[in-house]
Amino acid sequence: MGKTHDIENISNLIAQATVHKIVPDYTNKPESIEHMKKEEIEYKSQSFKRLSRTKYNEEDKKEIKEKVIRKVQNIINSKYLDIAIKEEELLEKINQELFEYIR
């Protein structure tokens, strides 16, 4: 598996973990919250495992961040139509989550 493939997989996992972290705060479906929290933990665990396998330079980290931002926006805008969150607030939450992964 190459670094490009790893970056794609990591960005997918981080995006999923981030979505599952954000959505419970805004959903009007309380029955989904517990499931979302469990999924967040699982995606986060997988993300950290993948991140620890390879050293990433600043350019790689920037690429991961850009992909995560785009993917989270796309997932929320297409899959979670009941979520009402301002774009600026969404970006702020994404960046807070990314700080846990990539410093």
Taking the domains of the chain in order of start, what are their residue ranges?
Answer: 3-101
* pLDDT tens for each residue of 32-73: 889 999 999 999 999 989 888 888 899 999 999 999 999 999
pLDDT value at position 103? 67
In 3-state terms the chain splits into helix, strand, coil percentages (rounded to 5) of 85, 0, 15
Q: What angle do CA 18, 52, 44 make, to 5 degrees?
A: 25
Q: Measured between alpha carbons, how far is 14 from 67 in angstroms, rounded to an integer?
A: 10
pLDDT value at position 46? 93
Q: Measured between alpha carbons, how far is 47 from 32 in angstroms, rounded to an integer?
A: 22
Given pLDDT bands bounded at 50, 70 and 90, which one contains residue 17? very high
pLDDT, average across residues 84-90: 85
pLDDT value at position 2? 82
pLDDT value at position 1? 58
